[in-house]
A and B are shown apart, each in its own frame.
Chain A
Amino acid sequence: DGGITQSPKYLFRKEGQNVTLSCEQNLNHDAMYWYRQDPGQGLRLIYYSQIVNDFQKGDIAEGYSVSREKKESFPLTVTSAQKNPTAFYLCASGPSVREGVYEQYFGPGTRLTVT
């Protein structure tokens, strides 16, 4: 059963703590993405990776970090430097854009609450 999994669904942290959000896909997609969604807003790109061991900053990368050591996995760390970390985080994957296909498929999301 192919798809994208994100865990956990809900995450609670104290201010000042780093937290890592998991994203795994078994769709054999080269590209993976992290987005942040706030109420009433569209999706804003945090980081993306087109290939293993390579990733680029998106529009709002400050306070976040990622790694791409395996094709299937693209974890996102929300650091204590992120000023407003409470949000709904969405991971997506898709074919490499070098194939001329720009479709992205989303996971179920992780709702992070920092108090």
Chain B
Amino acid sequence: GQQLNQSPQSMFIQEGEDVSMNCTSSSIFNTWLWYKQDPGEGPVLLIALYKAGELTSNGRLTAQFGITRKDSFLNISASIPSDVGIYFCAGRGNSGYALNFGKGTSLLVTP
């Protein structure tokens, strides 16, 4: 599978700040998914995107499917301590059944 480039690798912010992270691919994707993983647990699906340009929100989280179809962005507004975890992007290209995953962005939030 193709590895996605996810950045930044880690973020250390204060409670209340907004957060932005992104994911890029060298090829076109038809689906972008964003997951959050707490330590020792399985990833939880946050947002799914299926159309280029699509902007979707889930509470304080907003994700966008890039117009080029080679990238996606996740924003978290007004961060709180429970936002701590690793955020993964995943995408799927034109063929096959598998998702390709990024290596994750580790988010730490201080009160």
By the criterion CB–CB under 8 Å, are A102 and B102 in contact? no
Cross-chain contact of B3 among A42, A103, A109 (Cβ < 8 A): A42
State how many angstroms separate the Cβ of A29 from the closest Cβ of chain B: 13
By the criterion CB–CB under 8 Å, are B33 and A102 in contact? yes
By the criterion CB–CB under 8 Å, are A103 and B1 in contact? no
By the criterion CB–CB under 8 Å, are A43 and B88 in contact? yes
Residues of B within 8 A of A92 (CB): 42
By the criterion CB–CB under 8 Å, are A41 and B103 in contact? yes
By the criterion CB–CB under 8 Å, are A103 and B33 in contact? yes
By the criterion CB–CB under 8 Å, are B103 and A102 in contact? no
By the criterion CB–CB under 8 Å, are A107 and B42 in contact? yes
Q: A42-B102, A48-B97, A102-B92 are in contact. Are A109 and B45 (CB under 8 A)?
A: no
Residues of A within 8 A of B41 (CB): 108-109
Number of interface residues of B (CB under 8 A): 24
- Let me know if B31 is at the binding interface, CB within 8 A: yes
Give chain B interface residues in 17-58, CB to chain A under 8 Å. 31, 33, 35, 40-45, 48
B4, B33, B99 pick with most chain A CB within 10 angstroms: B99
By the criterion CB–CB under 8 Å, are B45 and A105 in contact? yes
Q: A42-B3, A102-B31, A106-B44 are in contact. Are A50 and B103 (CB under 8 A)?
A: no
Residues of A within 8 A of B48 (CB): 102-103
- Let me know if B104 is at the binding interface, CB within 8 A: yes
Q: Which residues of B are at the interface with A, using a C-beta cutoff of 8 A?
A: 1, 3-4, 6, 31, 33, 35, 40-45, 48, 88, 90, 92, 97-99, 101-104
Q: Which residues of A are at the interface with B, using a C-beta cutoff of 8 A?
A: 4, 6, 31, 40-45, 48, 50, 56, 58-59, 90, 92, 97, 102-109, 111
